[in-house]
Structure 1
């Protein structure tokens, strides 16, 4: 059975995509800790960090860095945080979020009731920052599709 992320990547479930390439996508989470909180997800179903081939893991980290730089630019955050947990969905994903202090590193602060309009606005802001930084080739033409 496909994972939740595979179903989102395949378009069965909506997502707010900000990045897409042949190995990975990045999309906004529906339960952000901070505004702009994104997930970098391999297209290939890999259960957890330690199962990933080194070259794919290096690529995911590179995408996370690029997204983090765009988040810092878009929201003026002093840091971009990277968290890997993966207990909720058995498909590797890296949490990348703009961070101002260590309280931004706790899933206990995730906002479960974020309005869709606010998530859409954050996705558009991050997509714009990625384009401004020269990564437009990896920003999907349609926010709801991971196709370029």
Structure 2
């Protein structure tokens, strides 16, 4: 069965995309820790990030770096934090989280619930900076 993220790649489920190329996709987390929380995935479905072949693994990180630069330009923050957890969805992914304080990347804190319009506006800001 295809993962939720594979369904986003296939266009079966909508997402607020911020960057995309032939191999990778970056889109907003719909329940972010902070505004601008982005998920970066390889389009090829693989459950565990360390099972990716070397080219895909390195490409994913290089793509995530480009997205992080755009996030930092678009969303006021001191840093863009990086987290790889991978338990919630069986598709390798990187969390990019704008940070102004350490607690901004605390995954046990309550998530935000932005409106579709708020997500659309945030995605547009990051896309414009990409």
The two structures have a TM-score, normalised by structure 2, of 0.94
- How many residue pairs get aligned? The number is 130
Q: Does the CA contact (< 8 Å) of 2:34 and 2:112 recur in 1?
A: no
What is the match of residue 39 of structure 1? 39
| Alpha-carbon distance, 1:50 to partner | 1.3
Kindly state the Cα deviation for residue 28 of structure 1 after the two structures are TM-superposed.
Answer: 0.6
Pairing 1:128–2:105 present:
no
Gaps of 5+ in 1: 131-148
After superposition, residues 78-93 of structure 1 pair within 5 angstroms as: 78-93=78-93
Rounded to whole Å, the distance in 1 between the matches of 2:33 and 2:63 is 20
1:95 Cα shift? 0.5
Write the distance in 1 (CA, Å) between the matches of 2:121 and 2:113: 15
- What is the rounded CA distance, in whole Å, between the counterparts of 1:9 and 1:92 in structure 2? 13
The alignment partner of 2:95 has SS state of: strand
User: Residue in 1 aligned with 2:117?
Assistant: 117
Q: 1:96 and 1:12, CA in 2 relative to 1: closer, same or farther beyond 3 A?
A: same
Q: 1:75 to 1:112 in 2, by over 3 A?
A: closer
| Structure 2: segments with no counterpart, 5+ residues | none
The aligned residue for residue 9 of structure 1 is 9
* Moved >6 Å (runs of 4+): none
Contact between 2:25 and 2:43, CA under 8 Å: does it hold in 1?
A: yes
Q: Is contact 1:72–1:79 with CA below 8 Å preserved after alignment?
A: yes
Distance, in Å, in 1 between the alignment partners of 2:110 and 2:94 is 15
CA RMSD in angstroms comes to 1.1
TM-score (norm 1): 0.83
Find the aligned partners of 1:6 and 1:98 in 2 and give their Cα distance: 25
- Residues 95-137 of structure 1 show CA distances to partners (whole Å, capped at 9, x for unaligned) of 012111110111123525221111111001100111xxxxxxx
For residue 66 of structure 1, what is the aligned residue in structure 2? Answer: 66
